[in-house]
Amino acid sequence: MSTLIESAAFRSEPEARALVARIHALATEPVSLMEVCGTHTVAISRFGLRSLMPDGLKLLSGPGCPVCVTPLAEIDRSIAAARMPDVILTTFGDMMRVPGSESSLEREKADGADVRILYGPLEALEIAAANPDREIVFVGVGFETTSPTIAATVAEAKQRGTPNLSVLPFFKTVPAALDLLASIPTRALDGFICPGHVSTIIGSKAYEPVARERNMPCVVVGFEPLDILAGIVMLLEQVEAVRRGTARASVEVQYRRAVTREGNEAAQRLLADVFEPCDAEWREIGTIAGSGYEFSERYRSFDARERLAIEIPETAAVSGCICGEIMLGLKLPTDCSLFAGRCTPRDPVGPCMVSTEGACAAFYKYDRQVS
């Protein structure tokens, strides 16, 4: 197995066949595995991996898309900020088309608001320098992969003395969400396919409390087809041992070429300096304790919520959208009555159809027939 896991031929058909055969040999009883990373969601759909699984093995998509878990009120707050005079709202592109209660950032831009798509948060610093008489607001959405880059931008702004840059801190963190998912009594999960990108920052140790306290097998997995298949094998071997009572769940790393137990300690120190943990609301899921970041006292002045008096309308949830149930692994996108009819990537209703990492968008593009 180590040869397969470490192989550089990440799309080798013979090795894929060997891994799939091993999966079928191990999955002799019903088993449900959940990936909690949008990139995994896309890869599983893109490479048709569900079609290779035995009938009793379910691959479920969790809340692994940061755009998808951003609450409607935070979308509305971004839109309200874009409408304010003398504000330049900056954001990553996948936030543009997420519907708010009354509008979207894309619509506001079409109506004349100064909304700019950035490829990286440091671009906001240059915009701030070029527009000293305007407030530059960056929409801070992302998990632990993205938040360090925004923390670095804020730290640089403080060092430069940039007075007109602020951030809407809508950050989310993964481990607390995994703990919630593992504790839902109506959601029978047997193991987590843990995110690769996030884990390069926080390290595999971040999932050890979930494995230990929930007895939930966890494997950090890469994104190529053989990575995912090998990760599933590793999870099934753990699940079998846990079910037999011969071992407790643990955290393993399939993605060893990028992930260590300790993670990126420099990035972790930066996050601890600029932010502090807080409770955060996840769209259609609810508030998860300790699952977000807010600015620490040293950097509180960069919080756009405190700097700008942003009034937002009462949020209006979309009738019929089941994004919450999809992100909890309770339903598939194809179970939604709006899917591929009223809700499409061209005209999305819910956030899971907007982001390229959303489960609905992935199903729409790659495997609409999966049920």
What are the domain boundaries of the chain?
2-64+182-253, 72-173+263-307, 323-364
Class of residue 202 by CB neighbours under 10 A (exposed 0-12, middle 13-18, buried 19+) = buried
pLDDT at 113: 98
pTM of the shown model: 0.91
Helix crossing, 225-244 with 13-26: angle to 10°? 20
Measured CA to CA, the distance from residue 19 to residue 284 in angstroms comes to 36
Q: What is the pLDDT of residues 201-224, one digit of tens each?
A: 999 999 999 999 999 999 999 999
**Does the pLDDT at position 7 exceed 60?**
no
Contact residues for 2 (Cβ-Cβ < 8 A; gap 6+):
none
Percent of the chain, pLDDT > 70? Answer: 96
pLDDT of residue 370: 46
Question: Tens digit of pLDDT for each residue in 95-111?
Answer: 999 999 889 999 999 99
Span 17-37, average pLDDT: 96
Instruction: State residue 24's pLDDT score.
Output: 98
Architecture of domain 2-64+182-253 in this structure: 3-Layer(aba) Sandwich (3.40)
For 72-173+263-307, which CATH class?
A: alpha beta
Average pLDDT of every residue of the chain: 92
Mean pLDDT computed over 138-166? 97
Residue 40 to residues 30, 115, 133, 220, Cα–Cα distance (Å): 21, 30, 42, 11
Q: Which residues have a Cβ under 8 Å from the Cβ of 119 and sit 6 or more positions away?
A: none
What is the rounded average pLDDT of the residues 260-275? 98
Query: pLDDT per residue over 303-361, tens digit each?
Result: 999 999 888 877 776 678 899 899 988 889 999 999 999 999 988 888 899 888 899 99
Please say if the pLDDT value at position 3 is more than 50.
no
Measured in degrees and rounded to the nearest 5, phi and psi for residue 37 equal -155, 125
Handedness of CA 53, 359, 41, 29 (dihedral sign): negative
Above 90 in pLDDT, residue 6?
no
Q: Is 349 helix (H, G, I), strand (E, B) or coil?
A: coil
Residues 276-296: b if buried by 16+ CB within 10 A, e if exposed: beeebbbbbbeebeebbbbbe
The least confident of 74-83, 157-166, 190-199, 313-322 is 313-322
Q: Confidence band (pLDDT; 50, 70, 90) for 4?
A: very low
CB 357 within 8 A of CB 326: no
Banded pLDDT at 26 (limits 50, 70, 90): very high
Give the Å distances, CA to CA, from 105 to 13, 116, 136, 158. Answer: 43, 10, 15, 28
Please compute the mean of the pLDDT values over residues 228-241 and round it to a whole number. 97
In 3-state terms, what secondary structure has residue 305?
Answer: helix
pLDDT of 237 over the 90 cut: yes
Quick check: 198 pLDDT over 50? yes
CB 243 within 8 A of CB 188: no
pLDDT class for 186, splitting at 50, 70, 90?
low
> How large is the average pLDDT for residues 126-132?
97
In which order are the strands placed within the sheet that holds 191-194?
57-61, 31-35, 191-194, 218-220, 251-253
Q: What is the pLDDT of residue 10?
A: 76
**72-173+263-307 shares the fold of 2-64+182-253:** yes
